[in-house]
Chains A and B, each alone.
Chain A
Amino acid sequence: MAQEYKLILKHADEPGYTPDIECYLRHGGYDALKKALAIQPKDLADGKKLSGPEQIREDVKVSGLRGRGGAGFSCGLKWSFVDRKSGKPIYLICNADESEPGTFKDRQIMHKDPHQLIEGMIISCFANDVKLAYIYIRGEMPEGAKILNRAIKEAHAKNFLGKNILGSGYDLEIYVHRGAGAYICGEETGLIESLEGKRPYPRIKPPYFPAVLGLWMCPTIVNNVETLCNVKHIVAMGGAEFAKLGTPNNTGTRIVSLSGHVKRPGYYEIEVGKATLRELLYDKNFGGGLRDGRQLKAIIPGGSSSKILKAGEKFKLKKKDAEGKDILVETDMLDLPYDFDSLAQAGTMSGSSAIIVMDDSVDIVKALANLSEFYAHESCGQCTPCREGSLWMSKTLHRLTHGEGRAADADYLGKIADNIPGGRTICAFGEACSWPVQSFVAKFKDEFVAKGAADEARRAKEISAPADAEQKQLEAAHH
């Protein structure tokens, strides 16, 4: 049976574990930082020397760590893109703008174990020669911002931050920067614009890759909260050891946010790919199954932007047979291992590892209307296809859920959604707002058509009914 594996959340929920530095130190806190600072230059066979920071960067590559924010991009690779020859300062920003609907994992880390994030950040900054870093936390987490500020102050007092950290000659400052309720700030270039004090309009890539032209046009690393925490563990246990956790190309652990219609919604840390969706939904140590008497209708597997999976859907999953040959195995959606690659093979994504479960009580049209309202509200408005398209989709779904639908609305929605993504917009928000619409409508088309058709039929009746009533009124007045 699949089990939780607590690496990041090892202590967070232990009774008596508090977010202050003394408690963190009692649990081996900042030992990984001390280890990182003490790494001696290594001589290579070709006579070159590998500095401590370079060795950490190599180790992060070896670990196979992939970004925990949504895109699942290799962290080591992201770091390797940083322009280190520009002569400009390099900045690091922790993306703590956790706002993908369904996701609530970073909140747990920041509230319950803030020093783990601070330590992960300090090590990541040291590894990348960063002297100034920011935590961009969403505005709706004022408590989290306070906790982080307190943690930074405590770390300063112990000289884990500031000048000449622990006598290493390395200086670093970290500041907390609060957002103010805009989802688009989770997009890394939008986040950078926001931090610069502007509207968070995402920048076009190329040329504005953060690794080259980021914050104040300087090389910048933007990493998610959980990703940065993982760096601490990679240094503590070594990249090769870290890579043994999880499954090949899907290493380490992930904190899965489980919400919606399960008996035990919550956050569960697992080795990546070591639990299936079925286990996450139904096992008693995870979701504990659906509410009594209910059947599964669908799940959104990786935050609201990921494509929906319909109960009973089957996918051909690439696997290796006994002789190591690639074979395709038919797999029910519930038997997909919860990792980056399996969900990508099923045409969706594990995204921010947030699963929203919907049982058969859910009106799927209403559910999509809810999400589309979110995207229409959150589009930054910069690119026409996204600004107009997200609003059209939301308006169409609004009429479908308010008795004004048409049978043709399903096709109409599909057409709008198909014309937003695919390089027509500056950032991936175009994709994010289209994928739910495309997948909901494709997989539940009957329900969309039926709803629109029922509205049309009802309206046709209503149009004739008032005319009759009016006639009767006139007749009554004449008598």
Chain B
Amino acid sequence: MSFQATPELEAEVNELISHYPVKRAASLMVLHAIQEKHGWISSEAVQWTARKLELQPINVFEILTFYPMLRQEPQGRYAIKVCRTLSCALGGAYELHHHFCDKLGLDVHKHGPQTTKDGKFTVEFVECLASCGTAPVMMVGDNFYEGVSHAKADEIVGGCK
């Protein structure tokens, strides 16, 4: 599968590069832009980014492999991230993660990303999402949810068409 950058992505990336006196600094933002449009970052996308930023592919690849938010493989259409860290754990985050995994047929003990067979959902435990006062919290894509009860969790899943 080859990576095709749309004119929109090209334009966005060029704009991002203009924000920095050194092209390399745009790496993370460029990878964000690619992931937003494609859902993940393929090795072709890494090569394209490297060419765009006048880097070696390894310079881009080492970023891709470090940051937890960046994906090296396709994920579900809906990425569910449940906060795992202490305040949320005190507020029932483990039970919430368990609930999602149970409901979607995933391994309740696995903390890393897991995708349902139909490719619709990816569920993972993530570290502190910085909203500890409204625990437990979670995200679906860019949307943020606070004080998530199991009923609310069902509603959220139900709303993912």
List chain A positions with a Cβ less than 8 A from chain B. 98-104, 106-107, 132, 138-143, 175, 177-183, 194-200, 216, 257-261, 265-267, 300, 304, 354, 356, 358, 362, 367, 370-371, 373-374, 377-378
Q: Are A181 and B86 in contact (CB under 8 A)?
A: no
Given contacts A99-B130, A142-B142, A197-B53, A181 and B68 within 8 Å (CB-CB): yes
- The residues of A that contact B89 with a CB separation of less than 8 Å are 367, 370
B133 touches A265 (CB 8 A): yes
Q: Are the CB atoms of A199 and B63 closer together than 8 Å?
A: yes
B117-132 interface mask toward A, CB cutoff 8 Å, 1 = contact, 0 = none? 0000000001111111
In residues 1-38 of chain B, which contact A (Cβ within 8 Å)?
A: 19-22, 24-29, 31-32
Which residue of chain B has its CB nearest to the CB of A103? B130
**Interface pair A180/B68, CB less than 8 Å apart:** yes
Q: Chain A nearest CB: distance from B113 CB in Å?
A: 12
- B60 vs chain A, min Cβ distance (A): 9
The closest CB in chain A to the CB of B63 belongs to A199
Q: How far is the CB of B25 from chain A (nearest CB, A)?
A: 5
Whether A260 and B32, one on each chain, are in contact in the complex, defined by CB atoms closer than 8 angstroms, is: no
Q: Contact check, B25 vs A195: say whether CB atoms are below 8 A apart.
A: yes
B residues 64-106 in Cβ contact with A at 8 Å = 66-70, 81, 84-87, 89-91
Chain B, Cβ-Cβ closest to A354: B132
Instruction: Using A104-B133, A181-B68, A370-B85 as known contacts, list a sample of 12 further A-B pairs with CB atoms less than 8 Å apart, ordered by residue number in A.
Output: A100-B128, A101-B132, A140-B69, A175-B20, A182-B67, A197-B27, A257-B132, A265-B132, A356-B90, A374-B84, A374-B86, A374-B127
Please pick, from B27, B91, B130, the residue contacting A141 in the complex, using a CB distance under 8 A. Answer: B130
Is B139 a contact partner of A197 (Cβ separation < 8 A)?
no
B49 to chain A, nearest CB (A): 10
User: Chain B residue with minimal CB distance to A267?
Assistant: B133
Residues on B with C-beta less than 8 A from A378 are: 127
Which residues of B have CB within 8 Å of A104?
A: 130-133
**In the complex, are the beta carbons of A374 and B27 less than 8 A apart?**
no
Q: How many A-B residue pairs have CB under 8 A?
A: 140
For B70, list chain A residues within 8 Å (CB): 180
- Cβ of B155 < 8 Å from any Cβ of A? no
Q: How far is the CA of A106 from the CA of B27 in the complex (A)?
A: 25
Asked if A98 and B130 make an inter-chain contact with CB atoms under 8 angstroms apart, the answer reads yes
Q: Tell me if B116 is interfacial: C-beta within 8 Å of chain A.
A: no
User: What residue of chain B has the Cβ atom nearest to residue A260's Cβ?
Assistant: B90
Interchain CB contact under 8 A, A266 and B90: no
CA distance A102 to B86 in the complex (A): 8
Contact of B131 among A107, A139, A304, A373 (CB under 8 A): A107
Query: What residue in chain A is nearest B36 (Cβ atoms)?
Result: A142
Q: Are B133 and A259 in contact (CB under 8 A)?
A: yes
Q: How far is the CA of A178 from the CA of B81 in the complex (A)?
A: 18
Cross-chain pairs A/B with CB under 8 angstroms, 29 sampled: A101-B87, A103-B132, A104-B131, A104-B133, A106-B130, A132-B21, A140-B126, A140-B130, A143-B144, A177-B29, A178-B29, A180-B67, A180-B70, A181-B126, A183-B128, A196-B24, A197-B22, A198-B59, A199-B63, A199-B66, A200-B66, A265-B135, A267-B133, A304-B85, A356-B87, A370-B84, A370-B85, A370-B86, A374-B84
Q: Report chain B residues within 8 Å CB of A373.
A: 84
> How far apart are the CA atoms of A52 and B89 in the complex, in Å?
49
Q: Are B86 and A139 in contact (CB under 8 A)?
A: no
Complex Cα gap A139–B130 (Å): 11
Query: Using Cβ atoms and an 8 Å threshold, which residues of chain B touch A101?
Result: 85-87, 127-128, 132
Q: Is the pair A197, B132 in contact by a Cβ cutoff of 8 Å? A: no
Cα A117 to Cα B91 in complex, Å, equals 31
Q: Are B90 and A261 in contact, CB atoms less than 8 angstroms apart?
A: yes
Pair B68/A182 contact, Cβ less than 8 Å: yes
A residues near B91, Cβ cutoff 8 Å: 260
Check B134 against A304 for contact (C-beta < 8 Å): no
Shortest CB distance B111–A (Å): 8
Taking CB atoms, residues of chain A closer than 8 Å to B63 are: 197-199
Residues on B with beta carbons closer than 8 Å to the beta carbon of A178: 28-29, 32
- Whether A199 contacts B62 by the Cβ 8 Å rule is yes
**A371 touches which one: B28, B59, B86, B126 (CB < 8 A)?**
B86
Q: Is the CB of B133 within 8 A of A180?
A: no
Bound-state CA distance A216–B22 (Å) is 8
Quick check: A356 and B86 within 8 Å, CB to CB?
yes
Contact B67 A107 (CB under 8 A): no
Q: Which residue of A lies closest to B21 (CB)?
A: A216
Q: Which of B19, B62, B139 has a CB less than 8 Å from the CB of A140?
A: B139
Most chain B CB within 10 A, of A139, A183, A266, A370, is at A370
Note all chain B residues with C-beta closer than 8 A to A103. Answer: 130, 132
Contact of A138 among B81, B130, B133, B142 (CB under 8 A): B130
Cα A337 to Cα B70 in complex, Å, equals: 42
Distance between Cα atoms of A325 and B118 in the complex (Å): 73
Question: Closest CB of chain B to A310's CB: distance in Å?
Answer: 16
* A196 cross-chain contacts in B, Cβ below 8 A: 22, 24-25
Would you give the shortest CB distance from A365 to chain B, in whole angstroms? 13
Q: Given the complex of chains A and B, what is the CA–CA distance between A175 and B19 in angstroms?
A: 7
For A370, the chain B residues whose CB sits under 8 A away are 84-86, 89
